[in-house]
């Protein structure tokens, strides 16, 4: 009976202790209830002893089930069978479950030693069997049931990877010291795998995660799961160039898997780990011939030493772990700063983006707009618009760009395909019809609102960046630069058209004066005509005044001031992640202080620019106009829009906020003689008569 009982405690049943489940195999699932029981035909055991035996043999059941679980997790025979028959369906492996199984085997070995010690004690001394067994295994009655429930939950919910670490970490918080020690040991085994993966990722940039259990994961793993619905993904990945693959690896190649991120590791720490691994990847550095790895061997040794100290600790200390990760992130960020800022000349590229995307090279864009002025009077041809623009673009470059500008070659002009139907020019607007109720003004306003963009407003610039600069100049960053560029180019084009209109008319007056000065009648007629056109020139001057001040505000108060702030940050910082943050603040300040993120203001500004262009083109084509009602409507619409703009900008929500610290200067220039304030008040409170413009003969 003694050996029957001891064998049952080690999972081997017989005639005395039987198992209700027969013919167990490796694939037999873990039972949810104890199947060990005392044989019912045993009559020589007292009921009290029978109850005690059945209470003890539960440990044997737990032992056997945990041993089966450990053996299944540690079995590597499926690797050989999978290699021999690739088509055979294979079991999904888990290195974290193997680590847990190693910890369970350790605990079970202690249990086996206790059973062996009981056997030796009973054989050497004449002692009560059941009392000795119960006394020797009493502590395991508190340990094995929770461990058995643990493996049941793992098997039932298919828990693995970071989820398994999270579960073990929660089970460590209990009031039984022995059980807490066991759970901490199991968690330690799981952390050994995590630290090995961290060392591979952080030190060498290699993701060792065969079964998708690490909280850093390749993006293509998600794509592969969706490959049935997106069969062209593999073709796209195969067609990518080396440079594109490097860029994709940095921005989209890896991500944090929230499912596998343990709850006790903050997102900030996980992002630092993600950044450090991406920063030390060696493959991109080899592609560009940088000549050496980003992370020197001495720094790599320091990082490995820190991770080794964490591995050897018997308990997981969150603060020590976070400090180690922060140190690693700081090392990677510092070396990446050296690579991007110093070797790749980040500041030179920032200056180039300022010159071309923020129109700091005003002479170049002035020349480009003058050379392309006649071209932009015609509707853009979808097939040749970009090629047509290249001629004035290259001419402007020859006239204004010197050979010492090594960054101009990275700038290219693009005219995207039209995805929407646009009016080729503002001259194609429907002519308003005169009516006593002012419906013509409404039709003009509706026409302006329907026409979202001018055909040439889609002009775009592209900037070519190489590794490692595309770690800094992401597609999102370049799209923000492009948005600002298109806005500034429209503004400069508007300002140029207003200036050209005045120069053209003055040239015409000066040309006509010598012809008519000896003819008293024609001279008097010219003077009267000049008098009649004065209201029209006042409108033009108001337009030019607003556009000039808006340009000055954007270029001087916004762009130059923010550029100086960015430069001071670049000089003071030696951390790549800090520089990325400073640059994002720089772009956000440009967008917010130029009101591109305020829909109501940006729409008014767009409308004002369109009205100015339409005014210029209508004046130059006045001989083809049958009446001047359209000019009157343009003037009226401009007054409304400009006064609405002033009213919005001077509101306490904008003028009193920190989002536009130099807005008060802009408002002061606009309202230097209180004209805008008076007219804005009049628009809001008084119905003013429409300005009357002369009827052209």
Q: Are the C-beta atoms of residues 543 and 615 closer than 8 Å to each other? A: yes
* 434: confidence class by pLDDT, cuts 50, 70, 90: very low
Contacts of 556 (CB under 8 A, 6+ apart): none
- pLDDT value for 501: 78
* Range scoring the smallest mean pLDDT among 251-260, 328-337, 648-657: 648-657
Higher pLDDT, 146 or 334: 146
Q: In this predicted model, which residue has the larger pLDDT, 507 or 568? A: 568
Q: Using one digit for the tens of pLDDT, what is the confidence trace for 276-320?
A: 888 776 544 434 444 445 567 777 888 888 888 888 888 888 899
Q: Which two tokens stand for residue 633?
A: 């409507």
Residue 237: the pLDDT is 40
Mean pLDDT calculated for residue range 353-362: 91
pLDDT of 201 strictly over 50: yes
Task: Measure the CA–CA gap between 371 and 394, rounded to whole angstroms.
Answer: 10
- CA diameter of the chain: 147
Q: Answer for the pair 554, 601: CB distance below 8 angstroms, yes or no.
A: no
What pLDDT is attached to residue 675? 72
Tokens 């992401």 correspond to 474
Please say if the pLDDT value at position 448 is more than 60. Answer: no
Of residues 633 and 352, more confidence is placed in 352
Domain spans in the chain, listed from the N-terminal domain onward = 1-76+94-159, 346-417+456-468, 474-685
pLDDT at position 112: 93
Residues 6+ positions from 461 with CB-CB distance below 8 Å: 356, 357, 411, 412, 413, 414, 482, 485
pLDDT at 476 over 80: yes
Q: Residue 185 burial (CB < 10 Å; 0-12/13-18/19+)?
A: middle
339 pLDDT higher than 70: yes
Distances (CA, A) of 80 to 33, 53, 83, 436: 34, 43, 5, 92
Q: What angle do CA 330, 331, 336 make, to 5 degrees?
A: 95
**Which tokens sit at 133?**
């067994």
Mean pLDDT computed over 455-462: 85
Q: Which residues contact 385 (CB under 8 A, 6 or more apart)?
A: 415
pLDDT band at residue 402 under the 50/70/90 scheme: confident
Question: What's the rounded mean pLDDT across residues 171-195?
Answer: 93
Residue 396 scores a pLDDT above 50: yes
| Token digits of residue 366 | 């002035």
As a whole number, the mean pLDDT across the chain is: 78
pLDDT tens per residue across span 33-55 = 888 888 887 777 888 888 888 88
Q: Is the pLDDT reported for residue 275 higher than 70? A: yes
CB atoms within 10 A of CB 17: 24
Contact 537, 558 (CB under 8 A): no
Report for 10-19, 177-186, 329-338, 503-512: range of highest mean pLDDT? 177-186
For 557, which DSSP code? Answer: I
Is the bond preceding residue 468 a cis peptide, omega within 30 degrees? yes
Least confident of 263-267, 514-518, 618-622, 631-635: 514-518
What's the confidence (pLDDT) of residue 206? Answer: 87
**Percent of the chain surpassing pLDDT 70:** 76
- For 209-276, what is the HEC assignment? CCCCCCCEEEHHHHHHHCCCCCCCHHHHHHHCCHHHHHHHHHHHHEEECHHHCCCCCCHHHHHHHHHH
Name which of 92-96, 331-335, 459-463, 502-506 the model is least confident about.
502-506
Confidence of residue 228 (pLDDT cuts 50, 70, 90): very low
Short-list 635, 637, 638, 619, CA closest to 497:
619
The confidence band for 515, taking pLDDT boundaries of 50, 70 and 90, is: low
The answer, yes or no, to whether residue 615 has pLDDT greater than 50, is yes
Asked if pLDDT for residue 152 goes beyond 90, the answer is yes
Distance, in Å, from the CA atom of 306 to the CA atom of 444, rounded to the nearest integer, reads: 71
Instruction: State if pTM tops 0.75.
Output: no
**Cα separation of 357 and 482, whole Å?**
7
Between 501 and 5, name the one with better pLDDT: 5
Range 249-261 average pLDDT = 78
Name the pairing type of β-strands 460-463 and 254-256. Answer: unpaired
Q: If we measure between CA atoms, which residue out of 543, 546, 584, 593 comes closest to residue 566? A: 584
What local confidence, expressed as pLDDT, does residue 672 receive? 75
Q: Which of 146-150, 271-275, 640-644 has the highest mean pLDDT?
A: 146-150
Q: How many whole angstroms from its chain centre is CA 525?
A: 66
pLDDT at 226 over 60: no
- Predicted confidence (pLDDT) at residue 562 exceeds the cutoff of 50: yes
Sign of CA dihedral 154, 157, 159, 162: negative
In angstroms, rounded to a whole number, what is the distance separating the alpha carbons of residues 69 and 150?
Answer: 11
H or E stretch covering 81: helix 77-84
Identity of the highest mean pLDDT range in 67-76, 83-92, 257-266: 257-266
Distance CA 378, CA 321 (A): 65
Give the mean pLDDT of 163-174: 93
Can you give the pLDDT at residue 288?
45
Which has the minimum average pLDDT: 85-94, 213-222, 344-353, 597-606? Answer: 85-94
What average pLDDT does this structure show over 139-143? Answer: 92
Q: Are 215 and 133 in contact (CB under 8 A)?
A: no
The pLDDT assigned to 520 comes to 56
Alpha-carbon dihedral sign for residues 447, 451, 455, 461: positive
In the prediction, which pLDDT does 516 show? 54
Check residue 341 and report its DSSP letter. Answer: I
Look at residue 619 in the predicted model and tell me its pLDDT: 75
* pLDDT-based confidence at residue 687 (cuts at 50, 70, 90): very low
Contacts of residue 176, defined as CB under 8 A and 6 or more positions apart, other chains included, come to 142
Confidence label for 86 from pLDDT (cuts 50, 70 and 90): low
Percentage of the chain exceeding pLDDT 90: 25
Confidence check: pLDDT of 512 > 60:
no
């Amino acid at each position: 009976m003694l050996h029957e009982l001891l064998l049952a405690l080690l999972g081997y049943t017989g005639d005395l202790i039987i198992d209700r489940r027969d013919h167990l195999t490796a694939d037999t699932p873990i039972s949810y209830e104890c199947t060990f029981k005392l044989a019912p035909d045993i009559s020589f055991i007292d009921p009290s002893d029978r109850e005690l035996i059945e209470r003890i043999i539960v440990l044997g059941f737990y032992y056997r089930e945990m041993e089966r679980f450990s053996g299944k997790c540690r079995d590597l025979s499926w690797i050989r069978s999978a290699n021999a028959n690739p088509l055979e369906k294979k079991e999904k492996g888990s290195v974290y479950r193997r680590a847990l199984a190693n910890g369970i085997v350790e605990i079970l070995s202690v249990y086996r030693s206790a059973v062996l010690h009981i056997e030796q004690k009973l054989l050497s001394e004449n002692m009560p069997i059941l009392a000795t067994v119960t006394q020797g295994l009493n502590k395991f009655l508190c340990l094995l049931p929770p461990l058995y429930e643990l493996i049941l939950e793992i098997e039932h919910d298919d828990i693995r990877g970071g989820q398994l670490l999270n579960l073990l970490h929660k089970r460590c918080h209990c009031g039984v010291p022995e059980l807490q020690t066991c759970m901490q040991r199991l968690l330690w085994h799981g952390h050994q795998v995590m630290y090995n993966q961290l060392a591979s990722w952080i030190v060498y940039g290699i993701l060792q995660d065969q079964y998708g259990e690490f909280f850093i994961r390749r993006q293509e793993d998600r794509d592969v799961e969706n490959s049935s619905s997106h069969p062209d993904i593999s073709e796209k990945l195969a067609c990518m160039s080396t440079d594109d693959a490097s860029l994709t690896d940095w921005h989209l190649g890896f991500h944090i898997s929230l499912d596998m991120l343990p709850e006790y590791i903050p997102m900030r720490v996980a992002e630092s780990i993600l950044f450090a691994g991406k920063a030390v990847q060696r493959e991109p550095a080899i592609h560009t011939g940088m000549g050496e790895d980003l992370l020197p061997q001495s720094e790599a040794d320091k990082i490995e030493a820190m991770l080794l100290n964490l591995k050897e600790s018997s308990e997981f200390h969150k603060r020590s772990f976070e400090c180690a990760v922060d140190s690693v992130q700081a090392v990677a960020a510092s070396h990446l700063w050296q690579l991007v800022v110093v070797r790749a000349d980040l500041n030179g590229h920032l200056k180039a983006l300022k010159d071309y995307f923020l129109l700091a090279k005003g002479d170049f864009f002035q020349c480009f707009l003058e050379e392309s002025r006649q071209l932009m009077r015609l509707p853009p041809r979808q097939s040749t618009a970009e090629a047509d623009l290249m001629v004035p673009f290259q001419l402007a470059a020859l006239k204004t760009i010197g050979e010492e500008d090594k960054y101009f070659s990275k700038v290219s002009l693009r005219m995207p395909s039209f995805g929407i139907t646009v009016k080729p020019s503002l001259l194609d607007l429907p002519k308003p019809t005169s009516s006593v109720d002012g419906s013509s003004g409404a039709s003009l306003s509706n026409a302006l609102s329907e026409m979202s963009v001018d055909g040439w407003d889609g002009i775009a610039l592209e900037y070519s960046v190489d590794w490692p600069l595309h770690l800094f100049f992401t597609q999102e960053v370049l799209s923000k630069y492009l948005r600002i560029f298109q806005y500034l180019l429209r503004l400069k084009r508007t300002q140029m058209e207003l200036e050209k209109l005045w120069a053209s008319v003055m040239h015409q007056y000066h040309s006509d004066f010598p012809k008519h000065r000896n003819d008293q009648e024609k001279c008097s007629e010219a003077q009267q005509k000049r008098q009649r056109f004065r209201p029209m020139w006042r409108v033009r001057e108001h337009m030019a005044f607003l556009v000039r001040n808006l340009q000055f505000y954007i270029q001087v108060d916004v762009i130059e001031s923010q550029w100086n702030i960015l430069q001071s940050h670049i000089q003071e910082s030696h951390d790549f992640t800090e520089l990325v943050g400073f640059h994002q603040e720089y772009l956000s300040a440009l967008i917010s202080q130029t009101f591109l993120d305020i829909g109501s203001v940006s729409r008014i500004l767009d409308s004002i620019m369109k009205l100015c262009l339409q005014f210029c083109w209508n004046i130059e084509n006045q001989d083809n106009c049958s009446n001047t009602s359209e000019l009157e409507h343009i003037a009226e619409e401009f007054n409304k829009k400009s006064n609405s703009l002033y009213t919005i900008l001077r509101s306490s929500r904008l003028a009193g906020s920190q989002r536009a610290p130099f807005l008060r200067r802009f408002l002061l220039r606009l309202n230097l003689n209180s004209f805008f304030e008076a007219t804005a008040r009049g628009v809001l409170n008084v119905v003013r008569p429409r300005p009357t413009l002369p009827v052209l003969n």
